[in-house]
Amino acid sequence: MPLEWSGSSPELLLALDRASGEPLHAQLNRRIRDAVRSGRLEPGERLPSSRELARGLGLSRGLVQDSYAQLQAEGYLVTRPGSATRVAAGAAPPAPARPAPPARPSPPLVADFRPGVPDLASFPMADWLWALREAGRAIPTADLDYGDPRGSAALRTVLAGYLRRVRAAAADPDHIVVCSGYAQGFALTLRALAASGVRTVAYEDPGSARGTSAAAAAAGMAAVPVPVDGDGVDVAALAATGARAVLVTPAHQWPTGVVLAPHRRLELAAWAAARDAVIIEDDYDAEFRYDREPVGALQGLAADRVVSIGTASKSLAPALRIGWLLAPPRLTAPIVERKRLDDRGSPALDQLALARLIESGRHDRHLRRMRAVYAGRRAALVEALAEHAPHVRLTGLDAGFHAVAHLAGPRGEAEVIAAARERGVGLHGMSACRHDGAADPARLIIGFGDTGERAVRAGVAALAGLL
């Protein structure tokens, strides 16, 4: 699509060689022809006015007008009374060979129970735009500079208060680093640990096996799995690995949904102290809970041993690309330096908008509303399965917006997923979260964050007899 300009004339980069001996009008004609033939100038695209192009190239306006007239006669340009000079429609370069037609798109799904995605349609757009306007109206000129690589001091202060209030964290603004999300926060932490001599990071199994292994390899570290049981990560098995760092999801284990038991929390803190190790806490969806008392962040128990990573991806939307990590004092400076080298800091206006959203109470209001929404979808899932597949056991429902379905029939995980797709339902297996990809025992991760109540009920009904 050609560029559309309103008001000022567009710019066009053309290089003329005054020492070549070739007349300037001939060079100008050739450069514009080449730009059209190569596709630099698309059919219908507007050229600069003869006055603006002459001024930019240091030529007389008459020479440029003559050049435009010559190229119009050759069919490269077209000019209409009262309109700008444009590239003629027939002057386009030959179209490339058509690629093979794409495969016929799959019909829309009745429901897609993909996990890890919040309700995107419920993003508080009006509140976010209000917060952006407030941030833009009040931002000091100095804050438009590169700033502190840790992030906006205003946001770090607000986040520290929020984490103390909502997550019972021992949060100090000086030890918070704003990042672009969990992936960057985790990568910064691993690189800082690798520089301090840590060579192995452990992770929960099942858990984020692929992402953790890839991030560890990029940091020059090895990644080893540690089993999870009904009380959370097995600390005895962790100790046997020799790792000096571990990634855990204590408030709502991904993907099983279990909560790290109190005695395991103490064991994990003791393990970190004894091994001079670091615990990396992924605090990914702790804001959403239903049938239990709130569970504080593990960081509040061992602030000198825990790097706690949080984001706005589940509470608001992944597209915001805003996260934060709360680091122990000894790791803050190495992490900040790596953040500085990565990107000099996250976007300032978005940080200030998030700070304003939290300060105003609109963030808390949104979370209260979404807890009710997810609770309704959770209830719809339980009721629909009780009606259409009563023998399927659900676990991990105490928090977040996914559950685990335990398959007990003769069909395997892959077979159930394929058959469900034929019925217009997207299902997702736990095998992708296991370090060895094992599909036994057969489990499904049923996400209901971005699937409405009606779709939840319709999707489960479509699976009647399959599960």
* E strands, 211-312, in order: 222-229, 232-233, 245-248, 278-282, 306-311
CA distance 213 to 203: 9
Segments in 242-328 forming alpha helices (H)? 262-275
309, 259 contact by CB (below 8 A): no
Residues forming a β-bridge with 425? 111
Token pair of 176 as six digits: 């918070």
Neighbours of 179 (CB within 10 A): 27
Q: What is the pLDDT of residue 97?
A: 65
Residue appearing with tokens 């192995």: 200
Domains of the chain, residue spans: 24-91, 111-118+365-462, 122-361
- What six digits make up the tokens of 9? 């004339």
More confident residue, 1 or 69: 69
The per-residue pLDDT for range 45-91, each reduced to its tens digit, is 999 999 999 999 999 999 999 999 999 999 999 988 777 899 998 87
Show the DSSP H helices in 389-437 as ranges.
413-422
Residue 293, pLDDT score: 73
Asked if pLDDT for residue 8 goes beyond 70, the answer is no
pLDDT attached to residue 99: 73
Q: Are 12 and 53 in contact (CB under 8 A)?
A: yes
Q: 84 Cβ partners below 8 Å, 6+ apart?
A: 9, 46, 47, 49
Question: In this structure, are strands 402-406 and 245-248 parallel, antiparallel, or unpaired?
Answer: unpaired
In this predicted structure, the answer to whether residue 5 has a pLDDT above a threshold of 60 is: no
The pLDDT-based confidence of 288 (bands split at 50, 70, 90) is confident
β-bridge pairing 425-426 and 176-179: unpaired
pLDDT of the residue at 289 = 80
CA distance to 34, 37, 57, 77, 161, per residue, from 86 (Å): 15, 14, 19, 6, 58
Over residues 384-393, the mean pLDDT reads: 94
pTM: 0.87
Weakest mean pLDDT among 22-26, 244-248, 451-455: 22-26
Topology (CATH) of 122-361: Aspartate Aminotransferase; domain 2 (3.40.640)
pLDDT over 90 percentage in the chain = 82
**Bond from prior residue into 255 cis (ω within 30 degrees of 0):** yes
Residue 331 one-letter amino acid: L
Torsion over CA: 227, 230, 234, 236 (sign):
negative
Q: CATH assignment of 24-91, given 3.40.50.11810, 1.10.10.10, 1.10.3470.10, 3.40.50.10800?
A: 1.10.10.10
Contacts of 115 (CB under 8 A, 6+ apart): 255, 401, 402, 428, 445, 446, 447, 449
So what CATH class is 111-118+365-462? alpha beta
The edge-to-edge listing of strands for the beta sheet with 402-406 is: 393-395, 402-406, 443-447
Q: Greatest CA separation found in the chain?
A: 88
